[in-house]
């Protein structure tokens, strides 16, 4: 068996397919501004940099810009609506729970490192009965920095009780590859998430197309 590692996961587009509820919340905010909804297919790749960025990208799609005060108000409206509708359609990606079971049985620690707010992340994972699986759930506001700043990764691993030198990042976007590179750890990219640049182009150490492939990819890095 490989020595215990800390497997650190991004949340949106990696652990959970949150796009339906995030885009519904975005379209709720846009509708209040008198703007048309963003189609689900094109909006998926707007996700991943937090609520404010999602709204900015939604406005850009309509060729709109707003004042700082309006952006603050729209972001607050988004968070209130999203918090109340956080797990209407969001579901773990197929094969996730079996992969988590595998890692737990091997004695590995599991953690979440996301640019979502910590309390929203915990609420989502609570409603999906996933929180209990993770030794740490850390968000954009937990340490005052976001991915790709390596501080958030290092502090997440520490909070989980692990060591950075025995850890692996799993994510779907440039921020995840970036945080891993800056922290000096290997990264597994998932091809089914949300990213404006295809994850394969970002050259993760391993690339998987289904969660069933995650344990083998992780173990190949542990033994490399």
| Ranges of each domain in the chain | 6-17+91-223, 18-85
Active site residue 10: yes
CA distance 144 to 171: 20
Which of 44, 17, 24, 152 has its CA nearest to residue 169?
A: 152
For domain 18-85, give the fold.
DNA polymerase; domain 1 (1.10.150)
Q: Cα angle vertex 94, ends 139, 136, to 5°?
A: 25
Q: Do domains 6-17+91-223 and 18-85 have the same CATH topology?
A: no
pLDDT at 51 exceeding the cut of 90: no
Does 213 belong to an annotated binding site? no
CA pair distance 50, 54, nearest whole angstrom: 6
pLDDT at 64 exceeding the cut of 70: yes
Is 12 annotated as contributing to ligand binding? Answer: yes
> 39: burial class by Cβ within 10 Å (0-12, 13-18, 19+)?
exposed
Residue 1 has pLDDT above 60, yes or no: no
Residue 48 near residue 172 (C-beta atoms within 8 A): yes
Average pLDDT on 98-109 reads 98
Is residue 172 part of an annotated ligand binding site?
A: yes
Work out the average pLDDT over 98-106: 97
**CA 28 – CA 120 distance, rounded (Å):** 18
Question: For the domain 6-17+91-223, what is the CATH code?
Answer: 3.40.50.1000
pLDDT in tens, 132-172: 999 999 999 999 999 999 999 999 999 999 999 999 999 99
Q: Is the pLDDT assigned to residue 10 strictly greater than 70?
A: yes
Residue 223 has pLDDT above 70, yes or no: yes
pLDDT confidence tier of residue 50, bands split at 50, 70 and 90: confident
CB atoms within 10 A of CB 163: 14
pLDDT number for residue 47: 83
* pTM of the entire predicted model: 0.94
Percent of the chain scored above 90 by pLDDT?
Answer: 84
pLDDT (mean) for 28-44: 89
Q: Which entry of 10, 17, 21, 205 is annotated as an active-site residue? A: 10
Determine the pLDDT at residue 157.
98
**Secondary structure, 3-state, the chain:** CCCCCEEEECCECCCEECHHHHHHHHHHHHHHCCCCCCCHHHHHHHCCCCHHHHHHHHHHHCCCCCCHHHHHHHHHHHHHHHHHCCCCCCEECCCHHHHHHHHHHCCCEEEEECCCCHHHHHHHHHHCCCHHHCCEEECCCCCCCCCCCHHHHHHHHHHCCCCHHHEEEEECCHHHHHHHHHHCCCEEEECCCCCCCCHHHHCCCEEECCHHHHHHHHHHHHCC
- pLDDT tens track for 172-188: 999 999 999 999 999 99
Instruction: Give the mean model confidence (pLDDT) for residues 85-112.
Output: 98
């Amino acid at each position: 068996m490989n020595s215990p590692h800390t497997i650190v996961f991004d949340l949106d587009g990696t652990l959970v397919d949150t796009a339906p509820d995030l885009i519904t919340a975005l379209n709720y905010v846009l509708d209040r501004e008198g703007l048309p909804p963003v189609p689900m297919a094109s909006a998926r790749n707007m996700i991943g940099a937090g609520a404010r960025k999602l709204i900015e990208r939604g406005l850009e799609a309509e060729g709109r810009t707003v004042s700082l005060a309006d952006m603050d108000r729209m972001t607050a409206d988004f968070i209130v609506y999203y918090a109340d509708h956080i797990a209407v359609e969001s579901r773990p990606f197929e094969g996730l729970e079996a992969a988590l079971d595998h890692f737990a049985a091997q004695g590995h620690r599991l953690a979440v490192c996301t640019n979502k707010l910590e309390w929203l992340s915990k609420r989502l994972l609570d409603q999906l009965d996933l929180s209990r699986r993770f030794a740490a759930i850390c968000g954009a506001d937990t340490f005052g920095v976001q991915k790709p700043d390596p501080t958030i990764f290092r502090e997440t691993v520490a909070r989980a009780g692990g060591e950075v030198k025995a850890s692996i990042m799993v994510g779907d976007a440039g921020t995840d590859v970036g945080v891993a590179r800056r922290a000096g750890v290997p990264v597994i990219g998932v091809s089914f998430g949300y990213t404006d640049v295809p994850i394969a182009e970002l050259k993760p150490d391993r690339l998987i197309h289904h969660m069933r492939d995650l344990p083998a990819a992780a173990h190949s890095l542990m033994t490399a």
